[in-house]
Amino acid sequence: MNKHLNNILKVSLLIAVTILSKTTLGNQNLLIFGDSLSSGYGISMKNSWPKLLDNKIKEKQLSLTIINRSISGETTSGGIRRLPKLLSEFSPSIVIIELGANDALRGLSLKQTKKNLTTMVELSKKIGSKPLIVGMRIPPNYGKAYSERFFNMFGQIAVKTEIPIVPFMFKGFATNKNFFLNDQIHPNEKAQRKILENIWGELELLL
């Protein structure tokens, strides 16, 4: 009788653990927090890299829900105001931070941009999320020194906060006009798969 009861308890415990495990995994969210480069600017959302990432996650049957809260024109100052609420609402296990380009294009202080991005990383880590920062370059006509400082800033943040980094979002096609819209700033639909490849290489290590 005792042996039979023990077996029932073991099976019940196994079922409970399995259900809990599936529930926990099923509730994991991945937050994409960026600007127009991640919001599907000028292209169909179904062909944007966040949607392509969503498709890839589903194909691999990973228990992740993609939540894209990127806004065209967003700066790091705007991002730092929005992020706390999103972290509280979605409790993401991973946060992809793709911001900073609009700060530079507006000639804003890189010191403040760096501080804002660092704070966003720290806020994410504080709730147990794994941040991934995405690096970017700006056109050299903004001044070689400023452009280099901007690019190096992302790596410095990654080292300081000990998080992974996608060194350059446009790696492999940045100088090819065929991968950009007429403004030569925003990537077109053809570029989205290349962006995903660049991001996936680092993101995969966090899954």
Residue numbers annotated as active site: 36, 183, 186
Angle between helices 144-161 and 110-126 (to 10 degrees): 20
First-to-last C-alpha distance (Å) of the chain = 45
How far is residue 23's CA from residue 3's CA, in Å, rounded to a whole number? 30
How far is residue 170's CA from residue 172's CA, in Å, rounded to a whole number? 6
How far is residue 177's CA from residue 138's CA, in Å, rounded to a whole number? 15
